[in-house]
Amino acid sequence: MDKEKTVSKKTKIEINVGLNDKNVPLQIEWKSDDNPNADDSPQMAKAMLLSMFDKKNKETLKIDLWTYDMQVMEMDRFFYQTFRGLADTYYKATQNRELAVEMQKFVQYFGEKTEVIPKNS
């Protein structure tokens, strides 16, 4: 049996969302059994993007939430960092360097346009 394809451990990620009476998120907190940077208490977040690829239907399921106090400049930074991470993850998963480099070019453009990073002269 292939050890890499055998479940040897399970971990839990818990996300709790506090909503107002119109179901708008006011509070997002999360915790994980394996988070080395935290004790057992939940950590606060202002936004989250969760995507899962459904094995049976081969479609992406997603949940995008942000709280009232998430500012536009914070959302710009959040998306810049997310795009950077997606480009890196795409390269690790596919080894498609050409497309990953093109994705990073967009990340650079996005970062400069939103002023998350300084313009490249």
Query: What is the reported pLDDT for 99?
Result: 98
Cβ neighbours for 115, distance < 8 A, ≥ 6 positions apart:
76
Q: Give me the residue spans of the domains in the chain.
A: 11-68, 71-115
Beta bridge partners of 17: 28
Mean pLDDT for each consecutive 10-residue tract of the chain (121 residues)?
83 95 96 79 95 97 96 98 98 98 98 94 59
